[in-house]
A and B are shown apart, each in its own frame.
Chain A
Amino acid sequence: MQLERRAGRRLVAGIPALWLAVFFLVPFLIVLKISFSEAQLAIPPYAPLFSWAHGLPVPRIHLSSYAYLFTNPLYLRSYLYSIMVAAVSTLFCLAVGYPMAYAIARAEEAWRSFLLMLIVLPFWTSFLLRVYAWIGLLQNDGLINNILLRIGLLHHPVTLLQTDFSLYVGIVYSYLPFMILPLYANLEKHDPALLEAAADLGARPFTIFLRVTLPQSLPGIAAGSLLVFIPVVGEYVIPTLLGRTDQIMIGRMLSDEFFDNRDWPVASGVAILILLLLVVPIVLLQRVERRQLEREGLEAEA
């Protein structure tokens, strides 16, 4: 019985571990391996990591792709730009998403699931189509410019497309649900008695928000922010379709190295560096989540 249970537990924990090993760890190791090899014009377009001499393996580890990445300012700029775009997008998503999540969490119970469905509704159409649709709205003879010209607010169309503006519009629009859903999940759980208690103790509505609601929603803010920040850093489609042409993001950089230059080692190096860059926020997220779980566990116990 005891043994059976332990075996069952191992199986339950083992399935995701196996999944991660097959679909994350192995590909990661392959990419890591490629990043340390030398590019060559062949199929595959990189040299093996070991060569055989006199029956013994001789390592042929090259740091050239990393050296290239660190010495070429193009890459550093691209990394910094990606982080900035991700950070600013996250802030915008938070600024737009928090009030929406708050309003849904405070709405009448009958309304909540309907409002949540509206948030998720865009997922029912293809992501690519929705981003394309923004081109139609933002381009020089697009809907927005046409309306502004028609009502006389503008005399010449303004360039909206392929600017930081259009990039942020696209990203915030696409990633907003990822901010709203975890925030809502957090805000919905708040005990309304705490708000009453705060009001009873003399706090005005804004103070109550600052001192009771906001601190308690920090785990939700953290979860939502990371769910936006992490994928936006490596975002490829939106910057390609809506973003600037003079400054490309790191995801685009990676794809260019891979498909256009066919420099797999450098592309792999870019991928590894993105990963390292994102490890920090991911670890942060896990710590916040663990703390939250511990507290909830303790509360449940008490």
Chain B
Amino acid sequence: MNAQPSTAPEPVPPYVRLQAVSKKFGDFLAVDAVSLEIRRGEIFCLLGGSGSGKTTLLRLLAGFETPSAGRIYIDGEDMSAVPPYERPVNMMFQSYALFPHMTVERNVAFGVEQEGLGRLEVRRRVEQILEIVQMSPYVGRKPHQLSGGQRQRVALARALAKRPKLLLLDEPLAALDRKLRERTQFELLNIQERLGVTFIVVTHDQGEAMTLATRMGVMDRGRIAQVGTPAQIYESPVNRFVADFIGSVNLMEGRVAARCDRDLTIRCEPFGCTVRAARCVECATGDTVWAAIRPEKIVLASEEMPDEALGDNRVRGKVREVAYMGDVSICLVEIDSGKTVRVTLPNRAGLAAQRDLRHAPVTLSWDAASPVILTR
């Protein structure tokens, strides 16, 4: 519904183009008229909760599902009648789907062998790609003799061995523990850059999407809610779903009280505060809108202000909870109206200072550039 391109259209045609693609399973509309363009060399992340249709979209691209409506073009070619084994696309499966009866070497060679290359060439390619993913010492192992991280590398190598122009990755890092996941993210970026492959990555992990993506698409109930760079999506979400899905956010419902050019005043009755935002949003005075403020953009001052000092973008409250996370602390502040506002504090002063905050009277304030005003 809102898949506008994030930048001006480029002269080069998009590498992957989805044209109003829908997929129905029985009565369930898994993918709902998705139109999307992905450029060559991009790392495009499809981000969404479970059941949002992101994996179905990936399977449509791989050819495991046929669209109920719409068309998919890869490199300008209509993929409607092209079976999976003839598509210039490879996929890395979430479960890795390594062949259990084959060694690492046989697994990686499988795809290359289908191209009818000579044995020497197959061998050379397999060696080369295993070198890149640093799995050369394990050529003779079977999948069940590998750790999760090693399997992930073999799966990646197997998908890359065919030198696809487009690689589809279904939750590529989901099965790895956190440390390994972080390291592998950077390795993926490195490999992508080296080989110049276009990546489409499905993930439910926003951190992963933020790190990997050049652009990302947030999916919600089969539709693409927003497409943009990670910064665009984080800083300027188009609706409450996106704002809430990416990172955490304080959403304050209110009415537009005054509006002039780049200056909006929103009266948030339930929160008992007035939000001023330096934003240009299409709305009229009296409209219901939502002010979205990221917890890290709120300044917490640990002194109680008198009533007359309060005003726009400034509220008074009491700290209810402090959750110490190490690098930051998350404070839940109950403001005068009784509502709770989430604030994150960088951990500059150490644990003791954060502890002292509990039940302390505080004043919250934020810059007029911080709130995002959402009409949906």
Contacts and interface: CB of A to CB of B under 8 A. Distances in A.
Interface of A: 191, 193-194, 196-204, 207, 211-212, 215-216, 295, 298-299, 302
Contact of A199 (B83, B95, B101, B115): B83
A215 B64 CA distance: 23
Classify the interface of chain A: helix, strand, loop or mixed: helix
Contacts of A194: 97, 99-100
B124 interface: no
B84 A200 contact: yes
Nearest to A191: B97
B318 to A, nearest CB: 51
A193 B85 contact: no
Interface string B66-100: 00000000000000000111100111010101111
A291 to B, nearest CB: 11
A197 B144 contact: no
B162 interface: yes
Interface residues of B, number: 29
A211 B101 CA distance: 10
Contact of B111 (A201, A212, A215): A201
Contacts of A203: 85, 110-111, 114
Contact of A200 (B91, B100, B101, B145): B91
Nearest to A218: B101
Contact of B162 (A196, A199, A202, A299): A202
A299 B85 CA distance: 28
A201 B100 contact: no
B100 A197 contact: no
B111 A216 contact: no
Nearest to B142: A295
A300 to B, nearest CB: 9
Contact of A196 (B93, B145, B148): B93
A212 B99 contact: yes
Contact of B110 (A211, A216, A302): A211
B54 interface: no
Contact of B97 (A197, A215, A302): A197
Interface in B190-224: none
A198 B110 contact: yes
Interface string B96-117: 0111110000000011001100
Given A191-B95, A200-B64, A204-B85, 17 more contacts: A193-B93, A193-B95, A197-B98, A197-B158, A199-B85, A200-B62, A200-B90, A200-B159, A201-B110, A201-B158, A201-B162, A203-B85, A203-B114, A216-B101, A299-B100, A299-B144, A302-B148
Contacts of B159: 200-201
Contacts of A197: 91, 93, 97-99, 158
